[in-house]
Amino acid sequence: LVAIVTAAFCAALAAGAPRVRPYYHLTADHGGINDPNGLFYYKGVYHVFHQWHDPPEVNVDWYHQVSFDLVTWQRLPIAHVPCTSGGAVIVDGVPNLVVCPNQTTVHVAVPANLSDPLLRDWKIEARNIVQGAYLPETIPGYWDASAYVGFDGTYYLVSGSCRKSGTMGTLGYCDGGNTPGNPQVMTLASKDFETFEYVGVPWKAKNTTYGPRTECPQMFQRGFVSKDDPSFAALLISAPQWYQNILFVGRLRGNGSSFDLEPAYEDGIVLDHGSVYAGQTMLDTDRDRRLFWGWVTGPANCGPLCGNLTWKGVLTLPRVLQLKPTTNDNALAPNYVVTWHVAPELAALRIMPAVLDQPYVVPAGSRGIPVGLAPNVSGDALEMC
């Protein structure tokens, strides 16, 4: 058992931070946060947007935080993007936030001042970028749009959708309910990010495991798969049935109209078995890697420890997500394996390691570690691993 005091904790403690607030996970100064949205890396700066509402569930907007090193973060003004979920993509050197305010519209928000290194201010363009794109009558609408650039330079717009069997319900529920094939992912494509065409439905739920709808879908290639095999791609979805992030790996065919899953990933894999939802990734272009963040909802009731919190919800630490070929000779083993780990930059947080002489099991119901258990470590909070 190793106890580690972090530099971020020391700074937070000196500032009088509440005991229950995480010290180096992303949180809001007040209000509630939800899904990470619009993640991108631009000119040496990591940009993380996420849902923010104050009071809870009212006036949803996008909170904006930036970092140069993934360790130290700065909170910026609210981006004023009134939308629940969306994504980001770099178009001709300009970051574009993709927002989906309703089930028939996709807008983009662009920096109001590109000369600002932190891109503090954003403006939403009035145009509907999918206006004019023909959609089959079997698709009544879409939500949670995201975008990415394929290895061929094509811009792809990916969104949750479902089969039409009547009328569209609220929050993307189709009246077909939780039936096989009803939750699905729709794709549109564009060469210039101006005119989009309907490509198809590359993924459909083959059973009821994934719930009545597909939330927060994101498809990506760069930074996750090798450019030597440009057909490989990953699809990340959030399944409300189990409140989990599911990752699929396969090969795109027909300009993205179909997605042939690798045998080991036909049912997808759960990326995190904890209380993590609405995950999204960004491409770190300088290091050719894919970084993942998810929304940690937190306990429904943490008792007196929480008190009357003025904030709620945190984001996970950034994790490096990668697909690697296997060298296993077992015919039943997968040809490729998904790996992930916390970004190595966060090792800078660890400044005072202490190894206990004997293992210690925290009693059930206990909220603390006995004083003197680790005599060389001091402070009110420890990282245990």
CATH number at residue 293: 2.115.10.20
> Would strands 311-312 and 31-42 be described as parallel, antiparallel, or unpaired?
parallel
pLDDT tens for each residue of 84-102: 789 999 999 999 999 988 7
User: Given a cut of 50, is residue 6 above it in pLDDT?
Assistant: no
**pLDDT for residue 21:** 78
Query: Domain containing 211: what range?
Result: 2-384
Q: How confident is the model at residue 16 (pLDDT cuts 50, 70, 90)?
A: very low
b/e map of 4-43 (b: 16 or more CB within 10 Å)? bbbbbbeebeeeebeeeebbbebbbeebbbbbbbbbbbbe
3-class SS of residue 182: coil
Average pLDDT over residues 263-284: 93
pLDDT tens for each residue of 179-224: 555 788 999 999 999 999 999 999 988 877 777 778 999 999 999 9
Residue 66 tokens, joined? 């930036």
**pLDDT for residue 377:** 65
Number of domain units in the chain: 1
Average pLDDT over residues 39-59: 88
pLDDT tens for each residue of 303-351: 555 556 778 889 999 999 999 888 776 655 578 899 999 999 998 887 7
b/e map of 139-178 (b: 16 or more CB within 10 Å)? bbbbbbbbbbbbbeebbbbbbbbbbbeeebbeebbbebeb
Residue 126 tokens, joined? 């009035």
Do 59 and 302 form a contact (C-beta atoms < 8 A)? no
| Separation of alpha carbons 123 and 303, rounded Å | 41
Bridge partner list, 107: 99
Average pLDDT over residues 57-76: 91
